Amino acid sequence: MPSRRSHTKSRRGCFQCKRRHVKCDEELPRCSLCRKRGLDCDYPQSGDADGQLPLTPQGSNQHNDTLTSSEGWSAQTRMLEMKLFHHYTVEASFTLRQDVLEAGHFQVAVPRLATSNPFLLDILLAFAALHLAFLEQGDSKWLEIALKYQSRACSAFSRVLADLAPETLGPAFICSIFIMLCAFAYPCVSQNRDTFDPLLQVLEINRLLTGCAFLFEQLDSVEQPEEIKAWFIYKRRVVLLKQGQVEDAQEDPGLEQLQRDLLKSLNHLRSSIDSTESPHKAIYLSTWDTLQEMVKEWPRGRNQGGILAFPIHISKEFMARLQEGDWIARILFLHYGVGMHLLSNKWYVGTWGRRLVATGLGPQEEVPEVWQETVQWARQAVAYTVPYDGERQKEKSEMGLR
C-alpha cells in the first residue's frame, strides 16, 4: 500500500479561513475563498517577515468595529497604523484649510475625537494613506491600504448612521467630510483616467455632500463637545465676514488671473442665457447664479460652501439637461470644471478640473460654432499648472499652533 502523503501545515493562511477551519490558498491581496464570499481578507504576521508593511489592515472583522482578537494585533499592523496616524497629524492634516476654525483643529481636536470613534480613526488613516500615495506618485501599495481603511470606515459609518446617537453625531459629521475628501482624492491620486465619468463622479459627490449638510444641520439638536462646537462658527459666517474677521488668502497669481477670466467668461455666458428662449431658461439662470457666486467667493467657501460644494446645488432638472446633451447646460458644466481648477493646488482636488473639462467634452467632438471659442478657452485654462501648496499650508498652520 502506498504511503500516505505527508501534509505540511501552513500558518500563513488568512484569519477568515482560520475562523472557518478551511484551507487557505494564501493568494494576495485576497484568497480565492474570501474573494468568492466577498469578504475582507487579512493575513497574520509572518514569522520570517521581511519588514515590509502589510497590504491590508489586520484583524478587520466586518462584524466588529474594534480589534478584539489577540492574533489580530499584528505588530506590522500596529506599526502601519502608527505610521499613518503620525503622517496624518504632522503632514496630511496641514493640507486642510482651516479658515475660521481654531488653529490646530485638524491636528489636535479631530485626532482626539478619533481615539474614541473607530470609524473616524479609520477614515483619517485612509486619508493619510491617500496623501502618501500622492506624495509617492500613486504608489499602489498606499492606494490599496487607503481603500481597505476607507471601506472599513464606510461600513462602520453606515451602522452608526442607522442608529445615530447624540454622542456619535459630531464624529459622524467629521467622518462624512473626510469620506467626501477621499472621494475627491482617489480618482486623481490613482491617475486612472479610464474610470472617470464626470456625471457619475458629480452625482456621487452630490450624495456625499448632502449627507455632510444633513449631519451639520443636526448638530444643534443635542449638546456637543468643544471639538464639535468649533464648527458652529460656520453658522455665523456672514456675521464674521461683515465684521472683517476673515482675511482673504494669498493665492497663486496665475490662479487669481484664472478667476478673473472665469468671471468674465461667465458674464459672457449670462448674456447668452438671457437671450435664449429655451423652456429651461430658469434652470440655467439658477445654476449660473450659484456657480458665479462660488467663483467670486474663491478661495474661501463663505456662504455657499465654495466650489467644492457646487454639486450639492445642481438640480435633477439640470442633470437631466446634461445627460441629454443640452449645450447651454454643458457649457455651464464646463465653467464648473474650470472653477475646480482654481483648487488644483490642493492635492485632494488636483486634476479634477482638467478631467471634468477633458471628459465632459471629447477632443474630437464637434462643437457648435457659437461655443467653439469658449470651449477652446476652457481647455487652455485648465492646462495651467500650479505647485502643490501643502508646505505653505503646513507653515501657516504651525505658526497658528505656536
Q: Please state, as a whole number, how many other Cβ atoms lie within 10 Å of the Cβ of residue 30.
A: 20
Question: Does residue 235 register a pLDDT over 80?
Answer: no
Question: Does residue 132 register a pLDDT over 50?
Answer: yes
CATH-assigned architecture of domain 11-42? Irregular (4.10)
Closest by Cα among 173, 62, 180 to 120: 173
Give 36-84 pLDDT, tens digit per residue. Answer: 776 777 777 544 344 445 555 654 444 444 444 444 457 888 899 999 9
Give the torsion through C-alpha atoms of 263, 269, 275, 277, to 10 deg. Answer: -130
pLDDT attached to residue 227: 80
Question: Does residue 396 register a pLDDT over 50?
Answer: no
What does the pLDDT average to over 226-230? 80
Instruction: For residue 359, give every residue at least 6 positions away whose Cβ sits within 8 Å of its Cβ, in sequence order, or none.
Output: 196, 197, 198
pLDDT attached to residue 140: 82
pLDDT attached to residue 100: 64
pTM reported for the whole predicted model: 0.75
Domain boundaries, the chain: 11-42, 77-232, 253-390
Question: Does residue 349 register a pLDDT over 70?
Answer: yes
pLDDT attached to residue 63: 40
pLDDT attached to residue 262: 97
Asked if 152 and 72 touch (Cβ cutoff 8 Å), the reply is no
Question: Does residue 22 register a pLDDT over 90?
Answer: no
Instruction: For residue 384, give every residue at least 6 positions away whose Cβ sits within 8 Å of its Cβ, in sequence order, or none.
Output: 254, 255, 258, 341
Asked if 392 and 96 touch (Cβ cutoff 8 Å), the reply is no
Confidence of residue 378 (pLDDT cuts 50, 70, 90): very high
- Does residue 299 have a cis peptide bond before it, meaning omega lies within 30 degrees of 0? yes
pLDDT attached to residue 73: 55
